[in-house]
Structure 1
Amino acid sequence: MASIVTSVTAVPLYGQCGGTGYQGSTQCDAGLACIRVNEWYSQCQNTGGTPVTPAPPVVSTTSLPPVVSTTTSAPIATSTPAPNIPAGQLTQLSNFGRNPSNISMYVYKPSSVKVRPGLLVALHPCGGTASQYFSGFPGFRQHADQRGFMVLYGQSPPGSSNCWDITSTASLTHDGGDDSTGIASAVEYALTNWNIDPKKVFVTGTSSGAMMTNIMAATYPNLFTAGAVWAGTAVGCLAANTPQFPPDPCQSGTVIRSPQEWGDRVRRAYPGYTGPYPKMQIWHGTNDFALDHKNLAEQMKQWTNIFNISQTPTGTFAGNPRQGWTKQVYGNGLLETFSGQGAGHGLPESGTEVVAMDFFGL
């Protein structure tokens, strides 16, 4: 009977409704359709039955100021930052600095941007694009509108199956010359040209973008204050950039390493670095059929080792931030984990982005 009930339960907006290995309901709430994102993930999206904020159009600009050295701090502005960037729409950047793998970067500047804004880097999942992440997960831009920060949306390079490089030595190394280098260049460009507050630079992403979030925190810890990982894996876990069928050991949750081994994989990403690492939030659902829930614990082990704090949480909060989720805090709050009972791969669930924004201090 339980399986019969599950099969007819309607999936809410942005919930998972299909994909290879998925065993849950494929029926979406009224007014929603099950949209295929890629072979392992389909999502309930609007078809007109439920009003949502429309996505502003994507425009292109080639008149950005030239890249300048980041060895000096950006001047303290007294007027709206980034005057060349149109407000309220997604704008593609060009000539933002070193970009060895030819990633694309887009920026969203809200109409009410602060004079000294924060910056959020948002990274799409496998099979997605910057524009799809912008439109399909509107919480980030909605909070940018409310709080006055800017958002950089990254897009993986052509020919990558729209997946980030989370396996090569180049991408897993500081200034190694791959996707991570291009993302860092765009952040450095923003810091130099847009009067971004360097203490308020953050990174987040879903699935492949979540893995790249962990990698950015490892390879460029000097750039980021915090990160939020939605349905990802530890740095150095996966053996391939694209989903494998049958699943590789990391996808299926059978890659289990010691905290020291996981921590060493982060430390190898930036040899000789002695500064602080970004504080981290890790989110994962128990019904994630693309990346097993056990990956939450492996990421916890990795970052507690980096922070040199206990794997025993200092606080556990059931029903946080909503029913079915459990929050755990480690050390003095450098690490927070969120385990979602019954939650799938399509994170963040609508409305939970605010928890990350508050964690960031945006």
Structure 2
Amino acid sequence: MTARGTTLMTLVSTLIAIAGVVLAPGASAASLVEVTGFGDNPGRMRMHVYVPDARPAEPAIVVAMHGCGGSGPGFHSSSEFSSLADRHGFVVIYPSAQQEAGFGKCFDTWSDAAKRRGGGSDPVSIVSMVTYVQQRYGGDPDRVFATGSSSGGMMTNEMLALYPDVFKAGAAFMGVPFHCFANAADFPPGSSRCTGGGGLNRTPQQWGDAVRQAYPGYTGPRPRVQLWHGTADTLVPYSLLQEEIEQWTNVFGLSQTPTSTDTPRPGWNRSRYSDKVEAYSIQGAGHSLPSAGMAAAALEFFGITGTGGPNPPQPGTCGVKAAVTAWNNGLTESITITNTGTTAIDGWSLAFTLPGGQTITSGWNATYSPSAGQVTARNAGHNATIAPNRSVDIGFQATHTGDTAPAAPFTLNGVTCSTG
């Protein structure tokens, strides 16, 4: 390269850095890029990745999986995840299944290998894709999520069961419970014990045991689960939504009786089971999900965004007070979040920026990620709902290198809060 060319490249790089935009090699917000050689790939899968130009240093990762007969590029084109990635700065992995199952290529949720952690087949390939994105693009290991439609919804439940230490939450559209299919011969819906004849019926304990046996001895936190199904779905029977609910509520030790029900949008009937499981019955919908707005609701559930979901606060309806107590190289910051609106906030995430040199070491009444820079605090189970004119108190302990100012500014579910 000539000296003039080198100078020009240096100038461009400097301008990009000043603008605060991080660029990763090999992908742009305008294109879907295929990745080969991403790691262990026993499922012989193809991988495409969508990496927006503007994103944080440690972006969230969403694995978005197609239905039978589809492909990663096809799901990229037909769903809203990549356009939302441009707005909110997360990376999307689009795997392409390669296993023929009578309906074109489907994700393997039937083989013995696919039902055991580290057993092989498609689940291992998908984890390799996640690891690749973490290493290549700095993906945040504390914000990895799975979603998918039909076969991809089935694989979403699969990944949450097999790799609860990798995935923090999932949104399964038109899926089936983990370990629903006995083998490959049981997969076609017409002759399947799982999906044929109205769907398989087991007890919550049986479904929960299947998940627990997938990773014996695991005692860590389980990923939160969002489930979607159309009431007029006959290909993957609507009755299987109840079986999924029974499976995951049993895993969490919850009752099958919802803690709350509502209709966030016309035709969307939602049941919540604590803050761990939520299920959407879409009135009159067939085997056609996700439809408009559902990807945004999934991202809201994941905590990636606070906008586009069913219950975001309105502008001017939140207030935050922050107080710092500092000593030597440490500090605590107490934060009070107040709902100043007229409707309850049901599920929240509070985003803020820490001053340079501050690093969170522990916190209370919320989960915090990452530990420095642009941080998001997400509600705990006991304080997910903030009633009108009510407040919740959270806080954290941090180290500092001299700057003990409080965090700022604060946005609750994407809405800027007043401070003072």
**TM-score between the two structures when normalised by the length of structure 1:** 0.74
Matched letter for residue 229 of structure 2: H
Q: Quick one: which amino acid aligns to residue 169 of structure 2?
A: A
* Contact persistence 1:211–1:232 (CA under 8 A): yes
Q: 1:105 to 1:313 in 2, by over 3 A?
A: same
Match runs of 1:256-295 below 5 Å? 256-295=201-240
Aligned counterpart for 1:175 among listed residues 118, 129, 134: 118
Checking the alignment, whether the CA contact within 8 Å between 1:123 and 1:154 is kept in structure 2 is yes
Q: Is the 8 A contact 2:207 2:246 kept in 1?
A: yes
Structure 2: distance between partners of 1:355 and 1:244: 30
Give the drift of 1:247: 4.1
- State the alpha-carbon separation in 2 of the partners of residues 165 and 125 from structure 1: 11
Deviation at 1:221, TM superposition (A): 0.8
In the alignment, structure 2 segments of 5+ residues that lack a partner are 1-19, 305-420
Checking the alignment, whether the CA contact within 8 Å between 1:81 and 1:115 is kept in structure 2 is no
1:255 and 2:200 correspond: yes
Counting only pairs closer than 5 Å after superposition, residues 185-334 of structure 1 correspond to structure 2 as 185-239=128-182, 244=188, 246-252=190-196, 253-317=198-262, 319-320=263-264, 322-331=265-274, 333-334=275-276
TM-score by length of 2: 0.64
Letter in 1 for 2:126: I
SS of the residue 1:223 aligns to: coil
Inter-CA distance 312–81: structure 2 relative to 1 (3 Å threshold): farther
* Residues 1:127 and 1:240: Cα distance change in structure 2 (over 3 Å): farther
1:77-127 Cα deviation digits (max 9, x unpaired): x97263233442111111111101211111001122222211100010001
**Alignment length (residue pairs):** 281
Query: Match of 1:216, SS?
Result: helix
Deviation at 1:248, TM superposition (A): 2.0
Distance verdict in 2 for CA 1:263–1:254, change over 3 Å:
same
Aligned residue in 1 for 2:291: 349
Match of 2:302 in 1: 360
The reply on whether 1:152 has 2:93 as its aligned counterpart is yes
CA distance in 1, matches of 2:246, 2:135: 35
Aligned partner of 1:248: which letter? S
Deviation at 1:357, TM superposition (A): 0.6
Checking the alignment, whether the CA contact within 8 Å between 2:23 and 2:54 is kept in structure 1 is no
- If you compute each CA radius of gyration, which structure gives the higher value, 1 or 2? 2
Structure 1 residues 303 and 81, CA gap change in structure 2 (3 angstroms): farther
Any idea what SS the aligned residue of 2:153 has? helix
Pairing partner for 2:83 from 133, 138, 142 = 142
Percent identical across equivalent pairs? 42
Contact 2:52–2:90 under 8 Å retained in 1: yes
Q: Corresponding residue for 1:50?
A: none
Q: Secondary structure at the match of 1:228?
A: strand
Match of 1:166?
A: 109
Contact 2:181–2:187 (8 Å) recurs in 1: no
C-alpha distance in 2 between matches for 1:300 and 1:236: 14
Cα 1:81–1:218 change in 2 (3 A) is: farther
RMSD between aligned residues = 1.7
List aligned pairs for 1:42-121, cutoff 5 A.
Answer: 80=22, 82-121=24-63
**Structure (1/2) with the larger strand percentage:** 2
* CA deviation string 1:256-305 (max 9, x = no partner): 11111001111121122111111000000110021111000000000001
Structure 1: state its 5+ residue gaps. 1-77
Rounded to whole Å, the distance in 2 between the matches of 1:287 and 1:328 is 18
1:164-208 deviations in Å (ceiling 9; x for gaps): 100111111111111000001111121223211111110000000
**1:340 maps to which residue?**
282
Look up the SS of the partner of 2:82 in the other structure: helix
1:184 aligns with 2:152: no
Q: Which residue of 2 aligns with 1:75?
A: none
For residues 293 and 47 of structure 2, what CA distance do their matches in structure 1 show? Answer: 25
